[in-house]
A = this chain, B = another copy of it.
Amino acid sequence: MTHPIPPGTRDVLPEEMRELRAIGDRMRAAYEDAGYGEIHTPALEYEEVLLRGDERAAGARYRSFDDQGAVLALRSDMTIPIARVVATRYAEAEPPLRFSYVARAWRATDRGVGEPREFLQAGMELIGVPGAEGEAEVIALTIEALTAAGLRRHRVGVGDGALYRGLLSSFGVPGEAHLPMLEALSRRDLVGLEHQVDALGVSSSDRDLLVRLPGLRGGPEVLDEAPGVGGLRSLYEQLEARGVADRVIFDLGLVRELGYYTGAVFEVYDPAVGFTLGGGGRYDNLIGKFGRDLPACGLAVDVARVHLAQAAEEALS
């Protein structure tokens, strides 16, 4: 007699659970200390409501039905539910608003064998602070919360999700050609991307920039290699003022999958492990879709991955 559990899920036994709780608790305390109060939203929401936030993630949701036949879905992140809460429960509140969460999310798609489908996220959302000022606060707090959780070598990769699309437009590439190229970029398929660039028929200097840009990765010097990066330059100054500029890696090829990001995008790394710990970015149009037009950005990490990174750091030291 076997009693399987669904692929991508796991039982967590007490010894590991204690360590995961400790990471979540320390991150929550760091968020709280910075004024980010924790929010809980229902695991199941009306799918129609979640779709207002982002149509592209819809395929990744576990669906169910209520007794009236309405389609329910397990949330696949906390950003869309918090955008809903801001527009409804904080419709009149003076911005900025600061919220955090330590909560599970679910994704039904199989993005690879062993890829988790239920995961515990710790994250925060800063609502009503536009541009580099908001992004710097989010990045600095994430670095601090991960330090509180016990990491020592973590870094935040920063890109501009609108940069490549903007270059394509400025080079006269028609809109319908953008999506396959952005998809290749988000998969980090630089060979496939180069073939697509070659087929565009743009000038050789434009072609060189489109091929070179995704590989530009490093300190603030990479910002000298590309046009249209004034926002990232301001962000660097803000990060310097907060004393965390050395923890940031600019990555001009960085594009996040989710459709709601409008500008800066973030990924969290630890050199001790080969996977990203989490990500986020600026989403200035999302809350407006629920009826309150406010700029926002946020960042979340996967607690189980933070735990693995912590163990890997200890093994290295």
Q: Give me the interface of A with B, judged by CB distance under 8 Å.
A: 1-7, 9-15, 17-18, 20-21, 25, 28, 32, 37-46, 49, 52, 62-67, 70, 72, 74, 81, 84-85, 87-89, 99, 104, 106, 108, 110, 118, 290-291
Give Cα A12 to B11, complex, Å: 26
Main secondary structure of the interface of A (DSSP, over half): mixed
Give Cα A52 to B1, complex, Å: 11
Q: What is the chain B residue whose CB lies nearest that of A44?
A: B6
Interface residue from B14, B37, B84, B99 paired with A39 (Cβ < 8 Å): B14
Knowing A18-B37, A37-B17 are in contact, say whether A9-B44 is a contact too (CB < 8 A).
yes
Give Cα A186 to B21, complex, Å: 37
Chain B contacts of A104 at CB under 8 A? Answer: 43
Knowing A5-B46, A118-B44 are in contact, say whether A37-B62 is a contact too (CB < 8 A).
no
Chain B contacts of A18 at CB under 8 A? Answer: 32, 37-38
Chain B contacts of A12 at CB under 8 A? Answer: 39-41
| Nearest CB of chain B from residue A26's CB, rounded to whole Å | 13
Whether the Cβ atoms of A99 and B14 lie closer than 8 Å is yes
